[in-house]
């Protein structure tokens, strides 16, 4: 088995060092093609990453391509694009059998608003009317269906849902009266309100699920995990920039979306409320999306997380880490690691970090240990500073330990209180560095 094609092992190393290093320059820019269904603030982290050079600093030249979500999924598989930002469409594509996976989210819930003409006062008034969305199976489609369903309305019989490609297209159609309602995102929802249009539903109330993020093909994950890791890092840096740099982000919104400052500020606040600070979606929301996708695609395929991991890594990973602390995740990490062969190579290691409440019982299949798998835990990190720190520094200097890739936040010494607040609130998604020299 080619060990290079196994899943890359990511070690979260918590070093007590407040020292800032510099990564050697010399990376050659590589083109990456990223698809978006429209220039919407739902994808703000992508546009911030491009504008502020977060992708470029990782050695990439990002090309943002306008493409409908349904087409983007097939383009991922064929290799025409490298990444897609329609997370909801990625879930539905994966459930239907396409070899794609969502790996991170931009927003933990979507800032989608069902806006209607001034004469329409309630969702039930939409009966017999036309509603604009981007495409069938998209997050805008899911939002419209959820809002109608809460009012006991059938999205296929009571209204006409029109897939119109991009939001600017159906926003214009709403403004000129061609359609009666539309699922809008900032800043178009603010523009509609100023024009007297009514808000009938907010996705955070009817469908608290992520819609934008990073979706990638299984082939890309297998063949170029380093690139995927760098793209993910750039996206997380962009999210942190939005959180910490309000003025710069509002200015970017006003300039790139050509809106007045009040609209830009209102749009920023809507996005900030929904932003996923660490790029991770709520597990319950993902499960709901999977079940909804099964209903929408009429799929009967069962989604087996461990099976998907083992298929992706050709038999299992070398290390699986449970940082959640649930009985089911502890059982999953043991099944996710590869088996060994006596005298030839050892099996994978399931590493327990998250702790279950005292008295919790976990059921494990003991036959899994016969394959040479290991199940262990950490103990305060098991670190001996006198022995390990010089080793870590040597590995860093040799390029084997990429500490700079872990740094997502930098502070001066007089910002130490801000650093502590960010640490306690969870806004530091990697490592924070205080530079005081």
**What confidence tier does 301 reach under pLDDT thresholds 50, 70, 90?**
low
Alpha helices in 151-224 (DSSP H): 167-175, 188-194, 203-206, 218-223
Whole-angstrom distance, CA of residue 195 vs CA of residue 182? 14
Asked if residue 70 and residue 22 are part of one domain, the reply reads yes
Q: Coil, strand or helix: which one is 202?
A: strand
Burial 129-160 (b: 16+ CB within 10 A, else e): ebbbbbbbbbbbbbbbbbbbeeeebebeeebe
Q: What is the pLDDT of residues 392-411, one digit of tens each?
A: 888 888 888 777 777 777 88
Quote the pLDDT of residue 191: 87
Any domain includes 408? no
Report the phi/psi class of residue 431: left, alpha or beta, with left for phi > 0 and alpha for psi in -120 to 50: beta
Same domain, 103 and 118: no
pLDDT digits (tens, 9 = 90+) for 61-116: 999 999 888 789 999 999 999 999 988 888 888 888 889 999 999 998 888 899 99
Indicate the residue among 268, 297, 326 that finishes a domain: 297
Q: Are residues 144 and 183 in the same domain?
A: yes
Confidence of residue 150 (pLDDT cuts 50, 70, 90): confident
User: pLDDT over 90 for what percent of the chain?
Assistant: 33
| Residue 412 CB neighbours (<10 A) | 11
- Structure-token match 């909804």, residue found: 292
Residues 237, 185 share a domain: no
Provide the mean pLDDT of the chain. Answer: 83
- In a domain, residue 182? The reply is yes
| CATH code at position 164 | 3.40.190.10
The number of domains in the chain is: 3
- Find the distance separating the first CA and the last CA of the chain, reported in whole Å: 48
Q: In terms of C-beta density within 10 A (0-12 exposed, 13-18 middle, 19 or more buried), how is residue 251 classed?
A: middle
Q: Where among 148, 180, 206 does a domain terminate?
A: 206
Q: What is the DSSP letter of 182?
A: E
- DSSP letter assigned to residue 309: H
Report the 10 Å Cβ neighbour count for 436.
11
Specify which residues 377 forms β-bridges with. 352
Quick one: DSSP state of residue 343?
A: T
Question: Could you list the residue range(s) of the whole structural domain that residue 30 is in?
Answer: 3-109+210-297
Q: What is the pLDDT of residue 1?
A: 42
In a domain, 415, yes or no: no
Res. 282: pLDDT tops 50: yes
Residue 201 sits in the same domain as residue 222: no
Q: Which CATH number does the domain housing residue 341 bear? A: 3.40.50.720
Rounded to two decimals, what is the model's pTM?
Answer: 0.61
Backbone phi, psi, residue 90, to 5°: -65, -40
In a domain, 425, yes or no: no
Q: Chain-centre distance of CA 376, in angstroms? A: 29
Domain co-membership, 153 together with 100:
no
DSSP state of 77: H
Give the separation between CA 295 and CA 284, rounded to whole angstroms.
17
Q: What is the helix (H) or strand (E) element at residue 213, kind and residue range?
A: strand 212-217
Same domain, 105 and 216: yes
Q: How many CB atoms lie within 10 A of CB 187?
A: 23
**Looking at residue 105, what is its pLDDT?**
92
Residue 142, SS3 per DSSP: helix
Query: What secondary structure letter does DSSP report for 346?
Result: -
Specify whether 87 is located in the same domain as 215: yes
Q: Are residues 247 and 372 in the same domain?
A: no
Q: Which of 114-123, 250-259, 341-350 has the lowest average pLDDT?
A: 341-350
Return the sign of the alpha-carbon dihedral for residues 360, 365, 370, 372. Answer: negative
424 domain-assigned: no
Q: Round to whole Å and give the CA distance between 383 and 397.
A: 20
Task: Give the residue-averaged pLDDT of 245-259.
Answer: 94
Contacts of 329 (CB under 8 A, 6+ apart): 322, 354
The full DSSP string for 254-298 is HHHTT--HHHHHHHHHHHHHHB-TTS---HHHHHHHHHHHHHHHT
Please check whether residue 350 is in contact with residue 336, taking contact to mean a CB–CB distance below 8 angstroms.
yes
69 and 23 fall within a common domain: yes
pLDDT at position 16: 28
Give the whole-angstrom CA distance, residue 162 versus residue 306.
Answer: 38
Examine residue 418 and state whether it is found in any structural domain, yes or no: no
Identify which of 274, 144, 294 has the alpha carbon closest to the alpha carbon of residue 210: 274
Give domain status of residue 401, yes or no: no
- Residue identified by tokens 């043991």 is 334
Q: Residue 410: inside a domain, yes or no?
A: no
Do both 172 and 316 map to the same domain? no
Strand partners, 216: 101
Q: Are residues 13 and 128 in the same domain?
A: no
The rounded distance, in Å, linking the Cα atoms of 288 and 213 is: 17
């Amino acid at each position: 088995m080619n060990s290079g094609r196994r899943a890359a092992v990511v070690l979260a190393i918590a070093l007590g060092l407040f020292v800032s290093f510099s990564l050697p320059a010399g990376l050659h820019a590589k083109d990456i093609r990223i698809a978006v269904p429209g220039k919407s603030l739902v994808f703000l982290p992508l546009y911030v990453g491009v504008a502020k050079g977060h992708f470029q600093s990782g050695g990439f030249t990002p090309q943002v391509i306008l493409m409908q979500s349904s087409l983007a999924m097939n383009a991922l598989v064929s290799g025409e694009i490298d990444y897609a930002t329609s997370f909801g469409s990625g879930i539905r594509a994966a459930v239907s059998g396409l070899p794609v996976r969502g790996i991170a989210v931009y927003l933990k819930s979507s800032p989608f608003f069902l806006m209607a003409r001034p004469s329409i006062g309630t969702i039930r008034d939409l009966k017999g009317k036309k509603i604009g969305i981007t495409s069938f199976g998209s997050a805008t489609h899911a939002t419209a269906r959820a809002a109608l369903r809460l009012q006991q309305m059938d999205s296929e019989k009571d209204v006409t849902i029109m897939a119109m490609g991009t939001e600017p297209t159906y926003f214009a159609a709403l403004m000129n009266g061609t359609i009666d309602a539309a699922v809008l995102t900032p800043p178009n929802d603010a523009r509609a309100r100023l024009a007297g249009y009514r808000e009938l539903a907010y996705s955070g109330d009817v469908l608290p699920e992520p819609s934008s993020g990073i979706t990638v093909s299984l082939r890309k994950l297998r063949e170029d995990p380093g690139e995927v890791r760098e793209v993910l890092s750039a996206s997380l840096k962009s999210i942190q920039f939005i959180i910490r740099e309000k003025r710069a982000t509002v200015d970017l919104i006003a300039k790139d979306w050509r809106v007045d400052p009040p609209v830009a500020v209102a749009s920023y606040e809507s996005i900030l409320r929904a932003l996923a600070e660490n790029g991770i979606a709520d597990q319950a929301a993902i499960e709901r999306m999977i079940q909804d996708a099964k209903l929408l695609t009429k799929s009967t395929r069962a989604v087996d997380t461990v099976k998907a991991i083992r298929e992706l890594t050709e038999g299992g990973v070398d290390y699986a880490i449970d940082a959640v602390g649930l009985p089911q995740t502890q059982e999953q990490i043991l099944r996710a690691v590869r088996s060994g062969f006596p005298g030839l190579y050892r099996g994978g290691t399931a590493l327990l970090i998250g702790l279950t409440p005292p008295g919790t019982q976990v059921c494990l299949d003991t036959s899994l240990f016969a394959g040479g798998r290991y199940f262990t835990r950490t103990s305060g990190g098991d670190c001996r500073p006198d022995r390990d720190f010089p080793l870590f520094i040597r590995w860093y200097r040799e390029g084997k330990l990429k500490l700079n890739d872990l740094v997502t936040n930098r502070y001066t010494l007089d910002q130490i209180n801000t650093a502590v607040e960010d640490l306690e609130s969870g806004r530091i998604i990697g490592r924070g560095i205080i530079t005081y020299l």
